[in-house]
A and B are shown apart, each in its own frame.
Chain A
Amino acid sequence: MFRRHDKSSQANGDNVTIYFEDAPIICKPTDSVAAAVLLSDPGYTRRTPVTKAPRAPYCMMGTCFECLMDINGVENQQACMVPVRDGMKVRRQNGVPVLPEDSKEPEND
C-alpha cells in the first residue's frame, strides 16, 4: 500500500527488522510499527470485536484506534504510536483480544 520515497535517505543507513505475522520487514528506527507494516502491503491489520470486519490504520496520529495490533504478545496497542524496535513481533489482532499469558504477580506489601 505504501512505499519509501526513492530519494529518501532512509532507503539506506541503519536498518531494523521487525516480524509481521512472522515475515520480516526491514525498516528504519524512526518508523512507527504501523508505518513499517504498511510497507509490507498488509491488507488489513485487525478485525473488529463486533462484526470481525477488517480494518487498517486510518489517521496515523493516535486518534482513531484502527491500528490496534498485537505487539510482542500484548494486544490492543496503537501501532501508529509505537516506534519499531529490532526483532519486534507484530501480529494482526482478531476481534476481542485474549488475556496476555505471562503474569508478573505484583509483590504483596
Chain B
Amino acid sequence: MFGAAIAYGLSRAGVDTLMLDGHDNNLRAARGNFGLVWVQSKGKGLQRYADWSRESARLWSGFAAELTDITGVSIAHRNDGGMMLLLGDEEVEKRKIEIAEMSKQSGATGYDCEIITHADIQAYFPDIKLGKAVTGASFCPHDGDVNPLKLLRAMHSGFVNSGGRYKSRCTVNNIDHANGVFTANTQQGQFSAPKIILAAGHGISHLAESVGIDAPIRPQRGQVLITERIQQALPIPLNGVRQTDEGGFQFGSSEEDIGFDDGTSLDVVQNIASRAVQSFPQLSTVRLVRNWGCVRVLTPDKCAIYEESISHPGAYVATSHSGVTLAAINARLVSKWIATGEQPTDFNHFSASRFHVQAT
C-alpha cells in the first residue's frame, strides 16, 4: 500500500518509475486490511504523526476524486466521521482518559474527538438497532473509510496509465550501490536507478540495512471477519465494524503478537463475533463468509518511518501500519519529497533514529 501510493504519485508527476512486487501469496497487508482512513487513534507519543494522519485524511477527498477521474474506479471513500464503539462503563472511562491525554499532547492543534451517548450513536444509524451493551462511543469528525481493494486497484492502474512500469513475482533479494546507481537484484534479473524507495512492508528490514537504515519492524496479527452482503445500514465506519460499499459487514481486528502467522483462530473469531452481535443484535442471523488474518507492519511506536539514507543518498525508506489512511499524503507529499527533495515540515520527526535515542 505504501509503495503503490508513492509510486502512483511519482508516475503522476512524470517521474520514470518501476515498481517491483513479490508473489501472489506473499504476506500482503494491503490486501487484508480494514479500509479505515483513521485519525482518532493515531500518534500517541508522536504528535507529528497525529497531525500527519489528520493532514492525510484532509487530502483524501481530492485524492479519491482524482483516482476515480483518471481510472474510472470508484473507491467508495467516505469522510463523515467515525466512531469507536464502547461496550460497558469501563471502556468508556478508559477512553475518556485516553482522550484527555491526547488533548493535552496536541495542545493548540486540538484533538477533535468526543464521547457520545447511546442515543447519539443510534441517531447515526436509523436502519439498524444498537445493542444495549453499547454504552457510548468516541466520535471523530476526521475519520472515514474507503474500499481498500478498489483503492489498491485504482492506484495500480493509475500508476500504469501514467506510464509507470510494474513487475510482479519479482522479489528483491538484495541491493547494490555503486557510482550513484542502485541495483536491485531480483529473481527476474537486475534493475537499476539513481533512486530507490523501500516500501516492502515485512520484507523491509534487511533491505533497509543494506542501504544503512535501521528500520525495526514487527508483525502483529489482526483477524478480520466479513459477512455476506446486506442492505446498507452503516453510513459511517466504526473502528471495529464497517460496512463495505458492496454490503458486507466487516469486523475486526484483533491485536496478536504471534509472529508472521496470517492464519485465524476460533477463540478470537468468537470474541469478534460476540462483540459484533452485542453491538448490533440484528446481525446474529447474518452469515460470515470469510475470516482472515492480516499481519500489520508495526514500528516500535506504531508511527511511520520516512527517511533518506545518509550513507547512501538516493535510498529511501517509507513504511508504517495505516497505509490506507496515509495513501493520500504518500501519493502527494512523500512522492514530492522523493522527486524534488522538498521536505514537509518537521519531517525529521519520522526518522528511525528516534528509536535509538541513547545512541545519538
Interface of B is mostly: loop
Which residues 220-255 of B sit at the A interface, judged by CB distance below 8 A? 228-231, 233, 246-247
Give the residues in chain A near B129, CB-CB below 8 Å: 103
Give the residues in chain A near B230, CB-CB below 8 Å: 96-99
Interface size on B, residues (CB 8 A): 22
B216 on interface, CB distance cutoff 8 Å: no
Q: How many A-B residue pairs have CB under 8 A?
A: 45
B131 on interface, CB distance cutoff 8 Å: yes
**Known contacts A97-B230, A98-B231: does B278 contact A104 (CB below 8 Å)?**
no
Pair A99/B231 contact, Cβ less than 8 Å: yes
Pair B128/A99 contact, Cβ less than 8 Å: yes
Pair B286/A99 contact, Cβ less than 8 Å: yes
Pair A108/B247 contact, Cβ less than 8 Å: no
Report how far A49 CA is from B246 CA in the complex, Å: 9
Give the residues in chain A near B246, CB-CB below 8 Å: 49
B127 on interface, CB distance cutoff 8 Å: yes
Pair A108/B127 contact, Cβ less than 8 Å: no
**Known contacts A108-B132, A108-B278: does B127 contact A99 (CB below 8 Å)?**
yes
Contact string against A for B residues 250-281, beta-carbon threshold 8 Å, 1 for contact and 0 otherwise: 00000000000000000000000000011001
Report how far A38 CA is from B177 CA in the complex, Å: 70
B residues neighboring A (CB under 8 Å): 127-129, 131-133, 228-231, 233, 246-247, 277-278, 281-287
Known pairs A97-B231, A103-B129, A105-B281; list 8 more (Cβ under 8 Å).
A76-B287, A96-B229, A99-B128, A99-B231, A103-B284, A104-B281, A105-B132, A106-B131
A residues neighboring B (CB under 8 Å): 49, 74, 76, 96-101, 103-106, 108
